Every structure is written in structure tokens, then in C-alpha cells.
Amino acid sequence: MCKSLWYPSVEDVLAIHDDIVSEYPDTPSGVQNRGDIEFALHYIDEGSFGSTPETIHEKSYHHLRFLVANHPFVDADKRTALNTTVVFYFLNGYRFEYDDKIRTILKQFGTDETAVDREDTIEYLRNHTEESSLAGEIEKWRDDLIQYGIEQLTDDSSDPND
């Protein structure tokens, strides 16, 4: 059983969705059903109807499944599900290195979720993740983070006289 995991909030998922929409001007924004997002997040954390996903890979499977199959957004369900799952793995100490097969899985979830083999997909997720150290990842980005901080401190666009 996974313990002490970080789980995204609805606001986290909405922020990820908003970031995706802002990167793609042709993608309409909007939430069709916030309850579908809440259900997905509740299910991966606590389960439902006597069934609870136990491993991080089972939780990730359901993350993808519910955020795509239930179509909670006007658009970008698959991209939001994938990005949320990458963040979920990352903040729980894993790096998810997916390939083109994930697109097929996401499309199947979006059109006919019964066509997705649960065990094969969980195995795919397991085979495409590796443990990582958040501290180690931050150290890799240290110079970029410092440069970003310096740029934020010296950014003239925040000058109230503009």
C-alpha cells in the first residue's frame, strides 16, 4: 500500500489544465464537470465501493483513466491527464518516461475505456518509471532556478512607473 503520497488537488489539476490551454491557443478552456475531477482524485487516494488502488502505478492508471474517460474538460483531457500523472509520479519520487504508446492508451481511454487492458497498462507504467530523488532533481536544475530567480528580481516589467 502506498503511504505518505502527494496527491494533486482539484486546483492543481485545474492549474495544469490552464497551463496547457495557455500553450495552445486553439484549445478552448473550461471545465465541463468539476465533480468528475473530484471523483478521480478521491478514487486514487481513497478508493470507492470497496476497491482502492494500492500501488503508485495502479493509482496512475486510474488517474489517466478517469481524467480522460470522464471528459471533465471542454478540451485537453488527455494532455491534462498525462501531465497530471507525470507530476504525480515526480512529486512521489518517480520519473515517468513515456513513449508513443501512451498516446494510444489515452486515445482508447477517450473513446472506449473497456478496450484498455488494465494489467498491460499498469505494467507499461511500471516499466516506464524509475525512482528518482526530488533533491537530486532540484540540484540538476539549481543553476536554472538561480538564473530564473535573478531574472525575476531584475525584471523591469514590475516597475509601478510603467
Which residue, among 21, 39, 41, has the nearest Cα to 30 in the 3D structure? 21
Partners of 95 in the β-ladder: 130
CA atoms within 13 A on the CB side of 135: 0
* Residues in Cβ contact with 103 at an 8 Å cutoff, skipping those fewer than 6 apart: 78
Tell me which of 139 and 97 has the higher pLDDT: 97
Using a cut of 0.95, tell me whether the model's pTM lies above it. no
Number of independent structural domains in the chain: 1
Instruction: Please provide the average confidence, as pLDDT, over all residues in the chain.
Output: 89
| Domain presence at residue 57 | yes
Residue 71 belongs to domain with CATH number: 1.20.120.1870
| Euclidean distance between CA atoms 44 and 87, whole angstroms | 14
| Domain presence at residue 139 | no
What pLDDT is recorded for position 157? 52
What pLDDT is recorded for position 161? 43
Which residue, among 94, 84, 73, 102, has the nearest Cα to 44 in the 3D structure? 84
| Domain presence at residue 143 | no
Q: Which domain holds residue 103?
A: 10-132
Partners of 48 in the β-ladder: 51
Tens of pLDDT, residue by residue over 4-16, are 899 999 999 999 9
Is the model's pLDDT at 121 over the cut of 70? Answer: yes
| Domain presence at residue 82 | yes
Cell reading at 6: 502527494
Lowest mean pLDDT among 69-78, 80-89, 94-103, 147-156: 147-156
| Euclidean distance between CA atoms 110 and 66, whole angstroms | 9
Cell reading at 140: 540538476
| Domain presence at residue 146 | no
What pLDDT is recorded for position 146? 81
Tell me which of 161 and 71 has the higher pLDDT: 71
Tens of pLDDT, residue by residue over 22-70, are 999 899 999 999 999 999 999 999 988 888 899 999 999 999 999 999 9
Tell me which of 155 and 27 has the higher pLDDT: 27
* Residues in Cβ contact with 11 at an 8 Å cutoff, skipping those fewer than 6 apart: none
Q: How many residues does the chain have?
A: 162
| Domain presence at residue 158 | no
What pLDDT is recorded for position 144? 77
Is the model's pLDDT at 122 over the cut of 90? Answer: yes
What pLDDT is recorded for position 50? 81
| Domain presence at residue 100 | yes
What pLDDT is recorded for position 4? 86
Yes or no: say if 73 and 66 are a contact pair by the CB < 8 Å rule: no
